[in-house]
Amino acid sequence: MSQWGRIPRNQMQWRGERAGWKDPLLDDDTRNLLRVHWYPSAIGAYFWRLYTHYLRFVRPSRLDHPYLFVNLDASRADTFGAPYRIESYTDQLARAVKRIGLRSLQANGTTSHGLRHAFAQSLRASGVSEKTIQIAMHHKSPLSQEVYTRPTRQIVAHALDQAEARAREFNANARAIRHTGATGTGHDAGSRTDQGDKVPRGLLETLGPEFTTLLP
């Protein structure tokens, strides 16, 4: 940074340009390198097209700093081309979210930090291991990501709804089997409920782990 007469932004005292990471897990310590892990990968390809377009047609040339993202408000000659400030990014993100009809809320994954939560939740929902999520999010400690992968209120509610639906299906099938036994049509080999009726093993196995205790 000395060639630009500047110090790194994470060392700046002035809040306007100060920016940085909270001691992340680096992919290359020798170059202070963080690698972006895109999910789904098609988003990375889309970003690359936008990135190359930005460099070619949008970002001003001959700047007095090396930063990629800059102020593009041509009505402010004193700040045009200056390094993009976090406050400006946050404001522009909120405006973009509003333009597509959404609310800017962390719980919705539509704020800067909310996007990290959405990323972690998407990986978790897709079956990615906790260790892989830790690496993808550049967390040095696995404990740092617990808040990101903890099931949200919506996920908990959805899981309970599914469990309730399986329970209703089980009860309906169990009643039908008991009715069949009462009319003397015989019983298939299976598992016994607390009523003494035989319930087919296959039925219990398809309903989920909540019902495995009914198996002999």
Q: 31-60, pLDDT tens digit by residue?
A: 888 999 999 999 999 999 999 999 999 999
Of residues 93, 88, 99, the one with CA closest to residue 111:
93
pLDDT in tens, 158-211: 889 998 988 888 888 887 777 676 555 444 444 444 444 455 555 555 555 555
What pLDDT digit, counting tens, does each position of 132-164 carry? 999 999 999 888 888 888 888 888 898 899 989
Using only the alpha carbons of the chain, give its radius of gyration.
28
Residues 77 and 29 occupy one common structural domain: yes
Of the three residues 109, 134, 149, the one that is the final residue of a domain is 149
> Does the pTM exceed 0.75?
no
86 and 130 inside one domain: yes
127 and 182: one domain?
Answer: no
Q: Are residues 128 and 177 in the same domain?
A: no
Q: How many domains does the chain contain in total?
A: 2
